[in-house]
Amino acid sequence: MEGSSGKSILQFAPFQSSVDEGFWHRLSSLKLNKFGIDDSPIPITGFYAPCSHSQVSNHLTLLAESLPSDSSEESEVPEISRGNRNRCSVPGILYNTNTVERFHGLDKQGLLKAEAQKIWEDIHNGRALEDSSVLSRFLLISFADLKKWSFHYWFAFPALVLDPPATLVNLRPASQCFSLEEAESLSAAFNEWRNSSLTADVPFFLVQIDTNSHAAIKHLKDWETCQSADGHKLLFGFYDPCHLPNNPGWPLRNFLALICSRWDIKSVHFLCYRENRGFADLGLSLVGEALITVPQGWRDHPYVPNAVGWELNKGRKIPRGISLAKSMDPTRLAISAADLNLKLMRWRALPSLNLNSLSSLKCLLLGAGTLGCQVARTLMAWGVRRITLVDNGRVAMSNPLRQSLYTLDDCLNGGELKATAAVNSLKRIFPAVEAKGVVMAIPMPGHPVPSQEEQTVLDDCRSLHDLIDSHDVVFLLTDTRESRWLPSLLCANTNKITITAALGFDSFLVMRHGAGPFSSSHDSKAEAANSLSADMSNLGLTDRDGGKRLGCYFCNDVVAPIDSTSNRTLDQQCTVTRPGLAPIASALAVELLVGILHHPHGIFAEGDVLNSSNSESSEQPLGILPHQIRGSLAQFSQMTLVGHSSDSCTACCSTVVSEYRKKGMEFILQAINHPTYLEDLTGLTELMKSASSFELDWDDGTDEDDDDCVEV
């Protein structure tokens, strides 16, 4: 294109962008964990270097460190180490939108104009002389689809428009513009400038060559000193990312605007600095002369020139897109996707959600049947990553339809062990889960043990004790009442968070056990060692007000647990329930656990009742924290109840726990082999005798005096 004087218009090679995958991963992390729905502009830093190859231009690159750190304050500029010769840092701004519609609807021209105004102001207030990198400010707009791991983005490199445009007088390789002495001195000066940590990443500079052919590189702020030297050659140099032999790179545009507006120079001699293998290459570098006419209005500071600079995508003005889903490791992708819903909760619905507590929580599930399968999956959905399942059964043909972790293949050849099959299934669903299966029977009262099997049973008791001791939470999900007794006792002894879920045909019970009887005084060091590090220790180890403890699964019983499986018909031996019951109860059991973890009093929290006047409970982030939830599918109803601990409980009262501490395994064998042992120990035998010998004299209804009524 020809100018009016016959000289060609100076044309610039556009900047090109390159984004490292690490940038998108870091942006995703910041979006989920820090920014949330806040779409305020984010200061970022880009990097470029002088062209170092005759066939390839250097790009402006974004890396993971281009973004602020997680710990930095909002709107803080990323901390970037200076002095790297291969990474000249350039300030930028990122607008990351919350929706793709918002991305496409951004006022792109307005955003470009705003960044151009910053450059214009930096030129006029002198900041560009102190930090010349601001002349290459850039803009990035983006939308991150964190479900699909795809990103839409568009770069802009704002350039102030000279009107009329600059005309090119000549442009030649630098090696043709200097004498041999000047070229040697200039190469040495450039190499010294590039090797100094103070100047290596300063992208705009002055090149001065004196009458003795001695070259020196100066900062822009030294302009007045340089231009006053008579007889010296003076060139305006910049790091040129472009490799083209007939065009200077994009950074020269705003450099010419600075030269024109601040120093009123009409004829500008410029040097496009390029390298080869880390050294100045005057054969690749260019020297040119451009004529500039000061555009009308540039003398007025409030005036802001027009700007151009949106990057083209294959010659078209459209945004770019990238998908990282295929390039990511499947396990890493699964982890990111699994945590997505939880991290989104923290944006608005539940800012106090403690994901670290959940991910490091150790959960023990006793029973890998209908309830155990559902509880395990719901725990993983809440971010729990450490799960141990205990069961000694095998997968039967009737199981897969109701027990969601099993398939037909698990039923073949006599059936896989449930504990093993469940763990394998969990790892297929989510490879990052730390799941273990333990094949073990739980010793039960009412099921006497022959003397030759006593050692095996005692080994199972010790194993169960060690399992409970090494976990933070225990779920009781077994089929029979008596199988829950020993775990309830061991949990009361060690003050573990314990959740029970039990099913009838069309009814269910979900409850949290209260703290153990000695929780406020016994072995606090052991408690702390077994707690969930710092997060779990905050749940408290002492009763907060000395009030009555919440009860366990057995506190309402007036008889000891007995054999409930012998002499039963098939429908009594199997867990016959409506199919929708187990998912409901399992979900409530896990939600109850999460409520405990987020309650300030943890295991010692009082039992809340629906529609109660307890304002403290209603103010908790997850709402009320009930003690018991009883539901009925027959009536599609659900109610919350509170039951306090019983002094005669066969599992958690102080008498039973004290006896266990005193006698250990001998006590457990007594409870298993002698049906009335627990009733005698807790006083239930005497209570039942008193009740059976008590006679009620019912009033004949003729006396209206209420004082004769007896309340039982």
Residues marked as catalytic: 574
Contacts of 544 (CB under 8 A, 6+ apart): 601, 604
Percent helix, strand and coil across the chain, each to the nearest 5: 35, 20, 45
How remote is the C-alpha of 266 from its chain's centroid?
56
With beta carbons less than 8 A apart as the criterion, state whether 199 and 220 touch: no
Structure tokens at 558: 């007036």
With beta carbons less than 8 A apart as the criterion, state whether 645 and 652 touch: yes
Helix 418-429 to helix 370-381 angle (10° resolution) is: 30
- Can you tell me whether residue 408 is helix, strand or coil? helix
**Pairing outcome for strands 233-239 and 204-209:** antiparallel
- Give the residue carrying structure tokens 């009536």: 635
**Longest Cα–Cα distance in the chain:** 134
- The tally of CA atoms less than 13 A away on the side-chain side of residue 681 is 22
Please classify residue 156 by burial: count the beta carbons closer than 10 Å to its beta carbon, then call 0-12 exposed, 13-18 middle and 19+ buried: buried
How remote is the C-alpha of 329 from its chain's centroid?
17
CA–CA distances in Å: residue 201 to residues 48, 119, 353 = 9, 19, 43
Q: What are residue 138's DSSP bridge partners?
A: 92
User: What is the spatial distance between Cα 214 and Cα 248, in angstroms, rounded to a whole number?
Assistant: 25
Among the residues of 245-369, which ranges form H helices?
Answer: 252-263, 330-345, 355-360
User: What is the spatial distance between Cα 342 and Cα 335, in angstroms, rounded to a whole number?
Assistant: 12
User: What is the spatial distance between Cα 649 and Cα 90, in angstroms, rounded to a whole number?
Assistant: 71
How remote is the C-alpha of 647 from its chain's centroid?
45
Cis check: omega of the bond before 164, within 30 degrees of 0: yes
- The tally of CA atoms less than 13 A away on the side-chain side of residue 140 is 31
Please classify residue 94 by burial: count the beta carbons closer than 10 Å to its beta carbon, then call 0-12 exposed, 13-18 middle and 19+ buried: buried
Among the residues of 370-523, which ranges form H helices?
Answer: 370-381, 418-429, 454-469, 485-494
- The tally of CA atoms less than 13 A away on the side-chain side of residue 589 is 33
User: What is the spatial distance between Cα 371 and Cα 523, in angstroms, rounded to a whole number?
Assistant: 33
With beta carbons less than 8 A apart as the criterion, state whether 229 and 210 touch: yes
Beta strands in 146-266 (DSSP E): 150-160, 167-173, 204-209, 215-218, 233-239
- Give the residue carrying structure tokens 């994009």: 250
- Can you tell me whether residue 15 is helix, strand or coil? coil
CA–CA distances in Å: residue 535 to residues 307, 495, 602 = 53, 16, 11
Which of 276, 262, 269, 48 minimizes the C-alpha distance to 160?
262
**What value does the CA radius of gyration of the chain take, rounded to a whole number of Å?**
38
With beta carbons less than 8 A apart as the criterion, state whether 363 and 379 touch: yes
- The tally of CA atoms less than 13 A away on the side-chain side of residue 547 is 12
